[in-house]
């Protein structure tokens, strides 16, 4: 099974980065979250209710819908903040995965089944007029991204099979109180304005150190 990969690119001003990231993350997670499962006997389960709420962006002319879960919102904000600020190119990956139990001494394997990559290009603007225009343009761009996300979601491609009670933690993140998203992780890659990525720099440093 191949992992499905989608790439979205946005150009934003520095203070719009966090909101743009959250808009994309929440839109994807809205589609990839269910209500809490409540297992009953005979292998049946019922599903809780997912609420939604509108979020107006402060620095972008845009409103997005997110799942009504403050815990999930806090977790995503913590991740989105890591990549905000500064000029240059940043890349965030939202990866949905399944855990596959392995025998000892091997640890559980994480098998991604869908990866959303958001490339954020941060620009610096000088005048208020440019910022105003940027507000509108980024809003329009995000509208297009939402339409792209929805298009992918409604292709109804591979989704993990609904798990038995014993395996629910291998498919869903059951740690939240009110909703249950598919297991996901968020990773970042920040490239500064010179085009050098932090990871490649670190790799070079370590190599050089080892070579001595």
Partner 1 sequence: METDINSQDRKDLDKFIKFFALKTVQVIVQARLGEKICTRSSSSPTGSDWFNLAIKDIPEVTHEAKKALAGQLPAIGRSMCVEISLKTSEGDSMELEIWCLEMNEKCDKEIKISYTVYNRLSLLLKSLLAITRVTPAYRLSRKQGHEYVILYRIYFGEVQLNGLGEGFQTVRVGTVGTPMGTITLSCAYRINLAFMSTRQFERTPPIMGIIIDHFVDRPYPSSSPMHPCNYRTTGEDTGVTYPSVEDSQEVCTTSFSTSPPSQCVFTVTKAHFQTPTPVVTDTLRVPMAGLAFSHQLSSSRLSYQPAALGVGSADLAYPVVFAAGLNTTHPHQLMVPGKEGGVPLAPNQPAHGAQADQERLATYTPSDGAHCAATPSSEDTETVSNSSEGRASPHDVLETIFARKVGAFVNKPINQVTLTSLDIPFAMFAPKNLELEDADPMGSLHSDGSSGGSSGNTHDDFVMIDFKPAFSKDDILPMDLGTFYREFQNPPQLSSLSIDIGAQSMAEDLDSLPEKLAVHEKNVREFDAFVETLQ
Cα 151–68–150 angle (5° rounding)?
0
Question: Smallest distance, Å, CB 206 to partner 1?
Answer: 43
If the CB atoms of residues 119 and 137 are measured against partner 1, the closer one turns out to be 137
Specify the length of the chain in residues. 212
Query: From the CB of 89, what's the least distance to partner 1, in Å?
Result: 25
Which residue, 88 or 160, is less far from partner 1 as judged by CB?
160
Q: How many Å apart are CA 86 and CA 82, to the nearest integer?
A: 11
Q: Please give the torsion angle defined by the CA atoms of residues 55, 58, 63 and 68, in that order, rounded to the nearest 10 degrees.
A: -10
Minimum Å gap between C-beta 150 and partner 1 is 4
Task: Using DSSP bridges, classify how beta strands 52-56 and 109-123 pair: parallel, antiparallel or unpaired.
Answer: unpaired
Nearby residues of 181 by Cβ (< 8 Å), 6 or more positions away: 29, 32, 33, 34, 67, 72, 172, 173
Closer residue to partner 1, CB minimum distance, 120 or 142: 142
Q: Note the residues at the interface with partner 1 (CB under 8 A).
A: 27, 30-31, 34-36, 38-40, 42-54, 56-59, 61, 63-65, 67-69, 129, 132-133, 135-137, 139-140, 142-143, 146-147, 149-151, 153-154, 156, 162-165, 177-179
Which DSSP category does 83 fall into? T
DSSP label at residue 163: P
Phi and psi, residue 111, nearest 5°: -110, 110
Question: What is the nearest approach in angstroms of partner 1 to the Cβ of residue 4?
Answer: 15
Q: Which helix (H) or strand (E) holds 71?
A: helix 70-81
Least Å from the CB of residue 122 to partner 1: 20
CB of 26 to partner 1, least distance (A): 9
Residue with tokens 């998203």: 181
Residue whose CB is less far from partner 1, 42 or 208: 42
DSSP letter for each residue of 94-126: EEEEEEE---TTSPPEEEEEEEEEEEEEEE---
Would you say 55 or 190 has its CB closer to partner 1? 55
């Amino acid at each position: 099974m191949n992992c499905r990969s989608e790439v979205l690119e946005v150009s934003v001003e520095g203070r719009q980065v966090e909101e743009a990231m959250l808009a994309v993350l929440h839109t994807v997670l809205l589609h990839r979250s269910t209500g809490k499962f409540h297992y009953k006997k005979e292998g049946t389960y019922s599903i809780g209710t997912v609420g939604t709420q509108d979020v107006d962006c402060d620095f972008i002319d845009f409103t997005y819908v997110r799942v009504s879960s403050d815990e999930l919102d806090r977790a995503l904000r913590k991740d989105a903040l890591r990549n905000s600020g500064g000029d240059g190119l940043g890349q965030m990956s939202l990866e949905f995965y399944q855990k596959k139990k392995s025998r000892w001494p091997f640890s559980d394997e994480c098998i991604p089944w869908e990866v959303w990559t958001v490339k954020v290009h941060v620009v610096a603007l000088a005048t208020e007029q440019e910022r105003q225009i940027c507000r509108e343009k980024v809003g329009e761009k995000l509208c297009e991204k939402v339409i792209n996300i929805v298009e992918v979601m409604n292709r109804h491609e591979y989704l993990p099979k609904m798990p038995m009670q014993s395996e629910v933690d291998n498919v869903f993140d059951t740690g939240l109180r009110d909703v249950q998203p598919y297991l996901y992780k968020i990773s970042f890659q920040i490239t500064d304005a010179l085009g050098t990525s932090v990871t490649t720099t670190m790799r070079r440093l370590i190599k050089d150190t080892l070579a001595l």
